């Protein structure tokens, strides 16, 4: 039966990710950039890197995000070998990529794969803003498009966590075209009626905001996340007027109808599990109405 599709797949074998739990914050203490409260790094981590005093959401790396999102040890990475080249021979690009690879221990600005949340399987993509500001070049676009293909083939819901400054300048128009590539892939997912949940985290701007991350069946953002198309400075120069204090925050977007909800990180996993559950029992996952029990 269709309604059993997820239950069956809960038993599928997963390979624990070696990266999932390795990352530990460097210092012992960490200071909140918003309220100045100093917390033990370990305690902060226990609270999913959310400041206990003011609710400020620190950035999560891709491995950290995966660790706090999927069921323990249940993540199987896709396309880990894709690496950027330097198609335009752009000044300093190669060395910047090299440096970010060393700094992050990642190959590129997105990690994709499949895992389970509360037992429900899903295809997951997580961007890492430490790698070239999470910008989308050929590799990021390709990995996301391939993840979408996996979701289509397996009929697993897709969850993408964006954290990106936009399209990657150093790959020029090839980066721009990744917006079309990822959105075209999502067109197929949309046509096949497979669920896509977009989680917009700080920051999601430019070409990523204007492509896949705005195309979720459900769009969720973390509190305070910067989300927008144009950069603040460019807008200020163009309109020559003061911008609202909450301009381009998750809360601003919610108010203007651009998001379904703003969910604190501490509740995000449960929210995602609930969404998966709501779409699991026949739902529209196969384009059919839920059959009577």
Partner 1 sequence: MGEMSMANGHLPFEKPIVELRQKIVELKKFTKEKQIDLSEEIATLEAKAERLEKEIYGNLTPWQRVQIARHASRPTTLDYIQHIFTDFMELHGDRLYGDDPAIVGGIAKLDGMPVTVIGHERGKDTKDKIARNFGMPHPEGYRKALRLMQQANKFDRPIICFIDTQGAHPGIEAEQRGQSEAIARNLREMAGFTVPIVCVVTGEGGSGGALAIGVGNRLLMLEHAYYSVITPEGAAAILWRDASEAQQAAEALRITAQDLLKLGVVDRVIPEPKGGAHRDPETQAAWIKEALLETLNPLMEMDGPSLVKDRHQKYARIGVFAGGD
185 makes contact with partner 1 (CB under 8 A): yes
Q: Using the minimum distance from each CB to Zn ion, give the nearer residue, 43 or 187.
A: 43
Structure tokens at 189: 């997912």
Count how many residues are written for the chain: 293
CB of 56 to partner 1, least distance (A): 23
Binding residue (CB under 8 A) for partner 1 from 173, 245, 289, 292? 173
Binding residue (CB under 5 A) for Zn ion from 20, 44, 48, 51? 51
User: Looking at 23-31, 33-41, 250-258, 282-290, which segment touches partner 1 (CB under 8 A)?
Assistant: 250-258
121 makes contact with partner 1 (CB under 8 A): no
Which DSSP category does 136 fall into? B
φ, ψ for residue 55 (rounded to 5)?
80, 10
56 makes contact with Zn ion (CB under 5 A): yes
3-state secondary structure of 221: strand
Q: Using the minimum distance from each CB to partner 1, give the nearer residue, 19 or 64.
A: 19
- Binding-site partner at residue 274 among partner 1, Zn ion, none, CB < 5 to 8 Å by type: none
202 makes contact with partner 1 (CB under 8 A): no
- Binding-site partner at residue 54 among partner 1, Zn ion, none, CB < 5 to 8 Å by type: Zn ion
Could you tell me which of 121, 60, 110, 47 has the C-alpha nearest to residue 277? 121
- Binding-site partner at residue 238 among partner 1, Zn ion, none, CB < 5 to 8 Å by type: partner 1
- If you search the block for the tokens 């090839």, which residue do you land on? 174
Q: Which residues pair with 117 in a beta bridge?
A: 120
Which DSSP category does 291 fall into? P
CB of 90 to Zn ion, least distance (A): 38
Distances from the Cα of 261 to the Cα of 145, 255, 264, angstroms: 25, 10, 10
Element (H, E) at 198: strand 196-205
Could you tell me which of 115, 105, 61, 116 has the C-alpha nearest to residue 80? 105
φ, ψ for residue 130 (rounded to 5)?
-75, -20
**CB atoms near residue 287 (< 10 Å):** 11
3-state secondary structure of 146: helix
184 makes contact with Zn ion (CB under 5 A): no
Q: Using the minimum distance from each CB to Zn ion, give the nearer residue, 47 or 95.
A: 47
Q: Which string of DSSP letters, residue by residue, matches 173-213?
A: HHHHHHHHHHHHHHHHHHHTT--EEEEEEEEEEHHHHTTGG
Q: Using the minimum distance from each CB to partner 1, give the nearer residue, 41 or 215.
A: 215
Window 50 to 109, contacts with partner 1 (CB under 8 A): 79, 81-85, 87-88, 90-91
Q: Using the minimum distance from each CB to partner 1, give the nearer residue, 139 or 262.
A: 139
φ, ψ for residue 152 (rounded to 5)?
-65, -50
Size of the site for partner 1 (CB under 8 A): 64
CB of 50 to Zn ion, least distance (A): 9
Residues of this chain that interact with partner 1 (CB under 8 A) are 79, 81-85, 87-88, 90-91, 138-139, 141-142, 145-146, 167-169, 171-181, 183-188, 190-191, 206-207, 209-215, 227-231, 234-235, 238-239, 241, 243-244, 247-248, 256-258
């Amino acid at each position: 039966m269709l309604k059993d599709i997820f239950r069956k797949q809960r038993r599928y074998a997963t390979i624990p990710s070696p990266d999932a739990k390795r990352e530990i914050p460097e210092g012992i203490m960490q200071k909140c950039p918003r309220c100045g409260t100093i917390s033990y790094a370990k305690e902060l981590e226990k609270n999913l890197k959310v400041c206990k005093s003011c609710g400020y959401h620190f950035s999560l790396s891709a491995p950290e995000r995966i660790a706090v999102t999927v069921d323990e040890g249940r993540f199987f990475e896709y396309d880990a070998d894709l690496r950027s080249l330097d198609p335009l021979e752009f000044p300093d690009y190669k060395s910047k990529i090299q440096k970010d690879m060393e700094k992050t221990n990642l190959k590129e600005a997105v990690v994709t794969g499949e895992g389970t949340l509360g037992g429900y399987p899903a295809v997951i993509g997580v961007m890492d803003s430490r790698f070239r500001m999470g910008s989308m070049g050929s590799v990021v676009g390709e990995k996301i498009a391939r993840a979408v293909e996996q979701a289509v083939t397996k009929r697993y819901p897709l969850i993408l966590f964006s954290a990106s400054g936009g399209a990657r300048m150093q790959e020029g128009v090839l980066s721009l075209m990744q917006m079309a590539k990822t959105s075209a892939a999502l067109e197929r997912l949309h046509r096949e009626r497979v669920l896509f949940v977009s989680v917009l985290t700080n920051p999601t701007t430019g070409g990523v905001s204007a492509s896949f991350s705005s195309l979720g069946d459900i769009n969720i953002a973390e509190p305070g996340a910067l989300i927008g198309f144009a950069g603040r400075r460019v807008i200020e120069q163009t309109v020559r007027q003061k911008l609202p204090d909450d301009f381009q925050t998750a809360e601003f977007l919610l108010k203007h109808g651009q998001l379904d909800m703003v969910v604190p990180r501490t509740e995000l996993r449960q929210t995602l599990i609930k969404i998966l559950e709501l779409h699991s029992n026949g739902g529209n996952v196969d384009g059919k109405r839920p059959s009577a029990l």
